[in-house]
Amino acid sequence: MIDPKTIKWEELGFGYIECAYRYVSKFKDGKWDDGALVTDSNIVLNECACVFQYSQSCFEGLKAYYTKNGDIVCFRPDMNAERMYDSALRLEMPPFPKDKFVEACEKVIAANKDFVPPYGTGASLYLRPFMFGSNPVIGVKPADEYEFRILVTPVGPYFKGGAKPITIKVSDFDRAAPNGTGHIKAGLNYAMSLHAIQTAHREGFAENMYLDPRTRTKVEETGGANFIFVTKDGTLVTPKSDSILPSITRRSICYVAEKYLGMKVEHREVFFDEVKDFAECGLCGTAAVVSPVGKIYDHGKEICFPSGMEEMGPWTKKIYDTLTGIQRCEIEAPEGWIKVIK
């Protein structure tokens, strides 16, 4: 384990650094145990564990960070608890109780205080709650035993270059989230997207724009973030689909755009054909925060957004400033959005 005093917080990318404690709870004989913080970062499992054979696993992602007045807070952990509950049900796993999820987040953050990046460094402590089927199964069926864990790692920006607009490509591959299962964050969905993301990176693109696999006419999301678009007259448009992850950041942005910025907000199907007419495009998510997209490459053609090639477009900047202001407690947050860690 690294000594946190030696971490260069400003230089962090989005990578894994082993921290002091992780939270572990086990499900056996039909119930979850009390859970505990442990120091060992290794997991020993039988070779036939369901997670290895049939990828029975799901995960979440959220961040903890310092505010200006010295509090450590995290953003809407109840929403992650709820989404993970849904993921577990869809994967025939026993859902982890939502109140215990939030409690476990608090415990693991408090235990790893030394790894929470200082205020103003731009970095934060990323929490990765995850759950998997742990006992041996060989016939195709769910496990009987499970582990719920939360690991933490300090992280910097997800995309290299921080707030600089990125270039993405229209993917030749489908994101493997079968229709109706987009609301889950499951290991296998991401495994099936690894070839697509590596292909995009090899070609020099930061991410993929996935289109709906059935008709390839509608915009879905990227590998790790939802889309936001702004029209020339300042309307926020976000794609609606059954096969994309309902981003907590995106749902927060829609609220902020309407209630704090007075924008018109549309959550609807977005056809790829209309993308060229938007003024601004961005990606949003816990890891991505709000990252501007300057250019979309589509098989030899390019869509360049009129504002946002060199820096964030004006509406994207307003959304970014307001959302991050709320997250850092510099702008009053809607009730229940900020959880202070004691």
- Residue 154 β-bridge partners: 125
Residues 72/338, Cβ–Cβ less than 8 Å: no
Of 75 and 132, nearer to ligand PLP (C-beta) is 75
Rounded-to-integer distance, Cα 8 and Cα 121, Å: 9
Binding site for ligand COI (CB under 6 A): 61, 224, 285-287
Binding test (CB under 6 A) with ligand PLP, winner from 108, 245, 279, 312: 245
197 touches ligand PLP (CB under 6 A): no
Report helix angle 77-90 to 98-111, nearest 10: 120
- Structure-token pair, residue 304: 């360049």
Place of tokens 């054909």: 273
Rounded-to-integer distance, Cα 126 and Cα 156, Å: 9
Residues 81/185, Cβ–Cβ less than 8 Å: no
Per CB under 6 A, the segment of 145-153, 208-216, 244-252, 324-332 that binds ligand PLP is 244-252
Closest CB 222 distance from ligand COI, rounded Å: 9
Decide which of ligand PLP, ligand COI, none touches 289; Cβ closer than 5 to 8 Å per partner kind: none
Closest CB 185 distance from ligand COI, rounded Å: 7
- Structure-token pair, residue 127: 């929490």
Decide which of ligand PLP, ligand COI, none touches 247; Cβ closer than 5 to 8 Å per partner kind: ligand PLP
Binding test (CB under 6 A) with ligand PLP, winner from 147, 174, 220, 221: 221
Of 241 and 286, nearer to ligand COI (C-beta) is 286
Place of tokens 């990176």: 201
Q: Catalytic: 240?
A: no
249 touches ligand PLP (CB under 6 A): yes
- The enclosing H or E element of 126 equals strand 124-133
Query: Longest Cα pair distance anywhere in the chain, in angstroms?
Result: 59
Q: Report in angstroms the alpha-carbon separations of 192 from 156, 264, 332.
A: 26, 36, 40
> Which one is catalytic: 63, 169, 185, 218?
185
Binding test (CB under 6 A) with ligand PLP, winner from 87, 226, 316, 327: 226
Binding test (CB under 6 A) with ligand PLP, winner from 61, 122, 136, 234: 61
Which parts of 82-101 interact with ligand PLP (CB under 6 A)? Answer: none
φ, ψ dihedrals at 336, nearest 5°: 85, 0
| CA 247 distance to own-chain centroid | 7
Of 132 and 158, nearer to ligand PLP (C-beta) is 158
Which parts of 284-303 interact with ligand PLP (CB under 6 A)? Answer: 285-286
Q: Report in angstroms the alpha-carbon separations of 8 from 13, 37, 155, 165.
A: 10, 26, 11, 24
225 touches ligand PLP (CB under 6 A): yes
Decide which of ligand COI, ligand PLP, none touches 226; Cβ closer than 5 to 8 Å per partner kind: ligand PLP
Q: Give the active site residues.
A: 185
Which positions touch ligand PLP (CB under 6 A)?
61, 221, 224-226, 245, 247-250, 285-286
